[in-house]
Structure 1
């Protein structure tokens, strides 16, 4: 059995007061993007970021379902784009079956797309997400902390720099305490103090740490008035509840009732090119809705939205979630990368490498100015003769699903399930 030096992947996601939404409709595909304001729909279809969007969506829902199995009654919140970007970047150094497993785990089919197109797609996503002309604050980046003992192959270093705009920072892993301090300081800075002291320890033979981070801050197009925020009950289950700060609005929103899945869907727009999607299953149907989470399902929801005035209740909350991505990936069939059979021969000179640790942490804050997650209950009254039906009352007062997706890149930035908005971790 061969020995291998270790790589560590740290994947970070910050969502503060805002989000984007997933929409593959023709209308949204015609939306202007910063680099080509007059492009046609046909041209958009050929853009690199559009080509990888379906695979990234498939990966997001696949990862969610694995996370759900381990979460139990805990909140779920993560950035699938952060995870897929990090592993796609690492795949530049993977070979043979290790590479094949990575492609399959990330939902990329090389019969539909050539490998260079994958990396070109992520390159375009990074360009679009980091465009300083956006109205919202959105930053995503990658960094390699590299031991003095490790010599990366020039092509790998060139490719991660060119496609993923990755920084390469020399780090003294022989002094693990200093290396941990350096990496944690970097994470603290990039996440604006939201994630601190994430890295607790390093394996003694670690030679590289890959960090991916995403930070988002946006604001509601129509903010909630904090004068209407009040204490209310959030129903954890049939017998238990917690007190939350519940926000309120009485305005027109795009809503949809999915009778097949027994859930309500609400879209809430943000300033700029941002919007939010919230899904509230009927009592007892959460698993049914979760099982149906596919890109086709979300597409159908978005196509079916109709504007209507509603009474909306939405909880304030701040939560974080952490995941052992290594464990979840192994359950998704990506095993070789973490074993002594790993083939990362395209990354380093005469050095056998494997991934020893891959962790992901995501944090979200929701307030009157903006939010990132919510859920919906609608009581619909059908009048017998009234010309205008009264506005339905939609209350996010029990567990709900959330998605945050960028309309420009069609990429899912964040997704999750809020089971208990009063519990931070």
Structure 2
């Protein structure tokens, strides 16, 4: 297993070390003393999963897109999105785009309009490869699909590219038939274990194609919580209101860091290839203030500065569902032409096409056993026009709004990012 070089950090702030002799009295809770998960229990050929420097750099820039996209969703409600699902869909669109449309897509998801389409495709192919050959204790499914109006034809080179690099299934369907809408939504349900039962409400006979990405994650905590320690406790909401929520509790050794803005704890799944990092703003610091400080460079430093601590951990058990239209957020981030009549998708088809709607539905369920999360992103195309030292004991009580991320630790890709503010959607 490659060293996890991702998730979170603040370079301008000094993180407290947990490698001290400080002790605090254990609370009356379950103290788990299991050894750490082995790094490559499956005897996998890790050379097969090694990314090039260019691919690492591209994923770092994609993670900046993830943070920027999350910031467009600021608000007081709980929410979750899957930036990697958006990136996969945008990658498939990039293969059919040219001119300003292509440049804007590249600049938005990869931070560089001059990267080659081959580099982009190879990077996403590597993410697919890693997801399929990773932690046997964690289920990760990433699938791509294109439904094409039977009266329309995509270019062969485009179909070959998305089929070979994105493993996309391309299907010709009758868009005037109600069965087609049911078929498309059934694909969403099947690929997400029914967590996302549908993605689009209607389909026009004049629509040309529907491009979709689905991602499903089902991970069991390496160190599960015991249900007998879950209690109803106060949670201070975004507007400082107090509500009762189910709060899980355990004492265990986790990677931990803190600074003047927030504290962070990393919770691994399975053999450690995937993890959730929870960022808890300090008292008096809002999520918005915390997120303004975060860049991919700063995020990477936090992970390297984390230390093993005995964490007295409290985390709400929660479920969040988000349904968002992405036209405006992506336009704000720079990819606006693809939503207009000036869009250039001439590498996709010999016709004037534009993206009339881009939608994402995402859901996450966090429980004592682990985490289930799923997202489907759809684009409707329309004719246009320190091991020997004693760890200190710390408290991490997530009883006020916090941010969380689920990442894959070989590619460093952020699969899901969300916030919990005490609301259930």
Smaller-chain TM-score range?
0.7 to 0.9
User: Do 1:48 and 1:124's aligned partners in 2 also have CA atoms closer than 8 Å?
Assistant: no
C-alpha separation between the residues in 1 aligned to 2:63 and 2:357? Answer: 24
C-alpha separation between the residues in 2 aligned to 1:364 and 1:89? Answer: 25
The correspondence for 1:131, drawn from 118, 133, 140, is 133
C-alpha separation between the residues in 1 aligned to 2:372 and 2:186? Answer: 26
Shift of 1:89: 0.9
Name 1:50's counterpart in structure 2: 56
Name 1:119's counterpart in structure 2: 121
User: Do 2:251 and 2:313's aligned partners in 1 also have CA atoms closer than 8 Å?
Assistant: yes
Name 2:164's counterpart in structure 1: 162
TM-score, structure 1 as length reference? 0.82
1:37 aligns with 2:45: yes
Do the aligned partners of residues 133 and 247 (structure 1) sit closer, same or farther apart at CA in structure 2, a change above 3 Å counting?
Answer: closer
Aligned residues: 376
List alignment gaps of at least 5 residues for structure 2.
10-38, 374-388
1:356 aligns with 2:340: no
TM-score, structure 2 as length reference? 0.82
Shift of 1:284: 2.7
C-alpha separation between the residues in 1 aligned to 2:217 and 2:129? Answer: 15
User: Do 2:81 and 2:418's aligned partners in 1 also have CA atoms closer than 8 Å?
Assistant: yes
1:274-313 pair list within 5 angstroms: 274-286=274-286, 287-313=288-314
C-alpha separation between the residues in 1 aligned to 2:56 and 2:292? Answer: 25
Do the aligned partners of residues 79 and 305 (structure 1) sit closer, same or farther apart at CA in structure 2, a change above 3 Å counting?
Answer: same
The correspondence for 2:405, drawn from 384, 388, 403, is 403
Deviates more, 1:90-99 or 1:364-373: 364-373
Do the aligned partners of residues 153 and 46 (structure 1) sit closer, same or farther apart at CA in structure 2, a change above 3 Å counting?
Answer: same
User: Do 1:45 and 1:51's aligned partners in 2 also have CA atoms closer than 8 Å?
Assistant: no
C-alpha separation between the residues in 1 aligned to 2:198 and 2:354? Answer: 24
Shift of 1:34: 8.3
Q: Secondary structure at the match of 1:53?
A: helix
C-alpha separation between the residues in 2 aligned to 1:132 and 1:275? Answer: 13
Shift of 1:182: 1.2
The correspondence for 2:72, drawn from 63, 66, 72, is 66
C-alpha separation between the residues in 2 aligned to 1:161 and 1:45? Answer: 21
User: Do 2:137 and 2:220's aligned partners in 1 also have CA atoms closer than 8 Å?
Assistant: no
Do the aligned partners of residues 21 and 400 (structure 1) sit closer, same or farther apart at CA in structure 2, a change above 3 Å counting?
Answer: farther
C-alpha separation between the residues in 1 aligned to 2:285 and 2:207? Answer: 45
Q: Secondary structure at the match of 1:105?
A: helix
Q: CA RMSD in A?
A: 2.6
User: Do 2:135 and 2:270's aligned partners in 1 also have CA atoms closer than 8 Å?
Assistant: no
User: Do 2:218 and 2:371's aligned partners in 1 also have CA atoms closer than 8 Å?
Assistant: no
Shift of 1:38: 5.7
Shift of 1:366: 0.6
Shift of 1:415: 0.6
Do the aligned partners of residues 174 and 65 (structure 1) sit closer, same or farther apart at CA in structure 2, a change above 3 Å counting?
Answer: same
Name 1:92's counterpart in structure 2: 95
Do the aligned partners of residues 154 and 388 (structure 1) sit closer, same or farther apart at CA in structure 2, a change above 3 Å counting?
Answer: closer
Name 1:370's counterpart in structure 2: 370
User: Do 1:317 and 1:366's aligned partners in 2 also have CA atoms closer than 8 Å?
Assistant: yes
Name 1:324's counterpart in structure 2: 325
Shift of 1:47: 6.2
1:101 aligns with 2:104: yes
Shift of 1:135: 2.5
